[in-house]
Amino acid sequence: MKYAEFNVDTNKIEFLNSVFGIESVLLNGKNISNKFSFFGTNHNITLNSVDLTLESEYKQFDKGEILLELKENGKSLEKQTLLIDKKQRVYWLVIGLASGFGLFKLLDVII
């Protein structure tokens, strides 16, 4: 699911995130970075011999936000704050409840 788009000169950097925590970064439609993250991570991008970093930070339990910041050599170029999709929050709630119930049943059998 696409969350954000950054434009640097004539280049388009897109940030996508799956329900299962896989973050992807596309540069002009080409996948350049995939990382797994629940709380945020950094994606390194080289664009015309310039090193950029796209930082993601999740505020899942606080405000339900994703904070994205595009940086060049540590200097902020652009920031975006996005709301987490409600479907994604519901999926994680269901997964958490199912995991807790399963662990409870497993421990009940063992003990």
Instruction: For residue 72, count other CB atoms closer than 10 A to its CB.
Output: 15
Please list the helix, strand and coil fractions of the chain in percent, rounded to the nearest 5, in that order: 25, 55, 25
pTM: 0.72
Please give the domain boundaries of the chain with CATH numbers for all domains. 2-84 (2.40.128.180)
- Sorting pLDDT into bands at 50, 70 and 90, what band is 1? low
pLDDT tens-place string over residues 38-97: 788 999 999 888 999 999 998 766 677 889 999 998 899 999 988 776 776 677 778 889
**Per-residue pLDDT, 26:** 95
